[in-house]
Amino acid sequence: MTSPQPPTAIVIRSAGINCDAEMVRGFELAGARVDLVHLDRVMSEPGMLKKYDLIGFPGGFSYGDDIGAGRVFGTRVREHLYGALRDAAERGTPMIGICNGFQVLVQTGLLPGFAHGVWPTEPPESTVALAENAGARFIDRWVRMEVPAETRCIWTRGLTDDAELMTLPIAHGEGRFVVDSERTLASIERNGQVALRYAGDDNPNGSAGNIAGICDPSGRIFGLMPHPDRYLSWFNHPYWTRLAPEQRTGDPPGLRIFRNAVEAVRTVSA
């Protein structure tokens, strides 16, 4: 124990969010103390975000994903919480958006984000988005992942390179990563902001550059379509019954992602 006070995380839910329990469990297993708070409450008291060392936007179908995935949640955050979240970004607070949470982060302008000190005061226009899967259908399956060596992302550091273990489940209808221009894509790539890619040729939704997750230039704000929150135990692995027991030791990659951020916060405060 490096610090007597565990880091604190806030997980923000709304109607239709349904992966909040897994995200809470992920932060807790990684050593954080977690509050699960309704978006309405955060909107009525944006200052509360200052209390937290980590911020999480979980998956689900916020407001039914009616109109578009994460659109209503994203619009509400953009209108009411952008300032508080920008301040948190400037403070270096790690944030994660998984699946629907990723869709929210890109629509609020928090991703691909800005370098320290140059975050705009008003919400910026979106430059990336998650479009309907190329197959026009919801897909749930496990997909092999790889972490680009040059990534700045603090969340995906040190993940195993054992191809059998480095896999994550996707479950979405709108997860195809699309950019507004080649320049945006080039800049994300060049800046080391690609945090996670679908490995090999197995691109399940037609994402540009096989991109499964990106981070902001500081590497602390992370959004991804796959669900690390569903890989907190080795029993979650899609074919753990085939793995040797000695393969199933230590943190599974999903838990390691949460642990990375919690440890990063702990190190700073210690």
Partner 1 sequence: MTPPPMAPTGSPMRERETGSDPVRLVRIEVRPHERAGDPRGDALRKQAASIGVRAGAVRSALVYLIEGMLSDADVERVRARLLTNSVLETSVVGASSAAAGERTIEVHPLPGVMDPVAETVRATILELTGAECRVSTGKRFDVAGISEKQAAEIASRFLANPVIEAVHHAPHCPEHLAMFPGSESTVRHVTITTLGDEALRTLSREGHLFLSLDEMRAIQSYFREQGREPTDVELETLAQTWSEHCVHKTLKSTVRITPPAPPEDDVIDWTNRPDHVVNADGSVTIHNLLKSTVAAATNELIADGVDWTLSVFVDNSGIIRFDDEFGVCVKVETHNHPSAIEPYGGAATGVGGCIRDIIGTGLGATPIANTDIFCVAPPDMADIPNGCLHPKRILTQVVAGVRDYGNRMGIPTVNGAVHFDERYVGNPLVFCGSIGVIPAHLCKGAAKKGDRIIALGGRTGRDGIHGATFSSAELTDSHADEFSHAVQIGNAIEEKRTLDAILRARDVQGGPLYNAITDCGAGGFSSAVGEMGEKLGAEVHLDRAPLKYEGLRYDEIWISESQERMVLAVPSGNVAALQQICDEEQVELADLGHFGTENAELVLNYRGGEVGRLSMAFLHDGIPMPTREAKWEKPKVGVKPTAADADEIDIEKTLLKLLSDPNIASKRWIVRQYDHEVQGNTIIKPLVGPLGDGPGDAAVIQPVAGSKQGLAIACGMATALGDPNKGGDPYLMALAAIDECVRNLVCVGADPTRIAILDNFCWPSCDKPENMGSLVRAAEGCYDGAKAYRTPFISGKDSLHNQFRTDDGRLIEIPPTLLISGVGIVPGVSKCVTMDAKLLSPDKTGSCGIFITIGDDLKFANGQMVVDPIRCAAAAYAVHLVIQRGLALAVHDVSEGGVLLAVAEMAIASEEDCGIDADWEFLVPWNEEAGCEDETLVNHLQVGKYVVQLAGYSGGPEFEQVRACVFEASARFGLIPESIASIDAVLSEEDDIRRERDAIDILWCGHFTRSGNFNGIPTSTLRDAFFGTLDW
Residues that bind partner 1 (CB under 8 A): 15-16, 18-19, 21-22, 25, 38, 40-41, 43-44, 59-61, 63-68, 71-72, 75-76, 78-79, 107, 125-129, 131-142, 169, 171, 178-180, 206, 227, 229-230, 232-233, 235-236, 238-242
Cα–Cα dist 114/209, whole Å = 21
Q: Which is nearer to partner 1, 103 or 218 (CB)?
A: 103
Query: Tokens in use for 179?
Result: 């950019």
Nearest distance in Å: CB 159, partner 1:
18
Of 110, 33, 23, 114, residue with least CA distance to 70: 110
Q: Measured between alpha carbons, how far is 29 from 25 in angstroms, rounded to an integer?
A: 6
Please say which residue, 25 or 157, places its beta carbon nearer to partner 1. Answer: 25
Instruction: Give the shortest CB-190-to-partner 1 separation in angstroms.
Output: 20
Is residue 8 a contact partner of residue 52, using CB atoms and an 8 Å limit? yes
CA distance 123 to 77: 10
* Cα angle value 240/245/246 (rounded, 5°): 125
Six token digits for residue 114: 């800005």
Shortest distance (Å) from residue 75 CB to partner 1: 6
Residue with smaller CB distance to partner 1, 132 or 216? 132
State the Cα–Cα distance between residues 68 and 63, nearest whole angstrom. Answer: 10
Closer residue to partner 1 (CB): 108 or 191: 108
Could you tell me the smallest distance in angstroms from the CB atom of residue 5 to partner 1? Answer: 24
Asked if residues 2 and 270 have their Cβ atoms less than 8 Å apart, the reply is: yes
Q: Which is nearer to partner 1, 18 or 269 (CB)?
A: 18
What spatial distance separates the first Cα and last Cα of the chain, rounded to whole Å? 10
Token pair for 134: 């190329």
Given the complex with partner 1, which of 149 and 244 has the nearer CB atom? 244
Q: Which of 15/48 has CB closer to partner 1?
A: 15
Least separation in angstroms between CB 232 and partner 1: 6
How near is the Cβ of 6 to partner 1 at its closest, in Å? 19
CB of 178 to partner 1, least distance (A): 5
| Least spacing, CB of residue 252 vs partner 1, in Å | 11
Nearer Cβ to partner 1, position 80 or 157?
80
204 burial class (0-12, 13-18, 19+ CB within 10 angstroms)?
A: buried
Residues 6 or more apart in contact with residue 23 via CB below 8 angstroms: 11, 56, 58, 59, 96, 98, 229
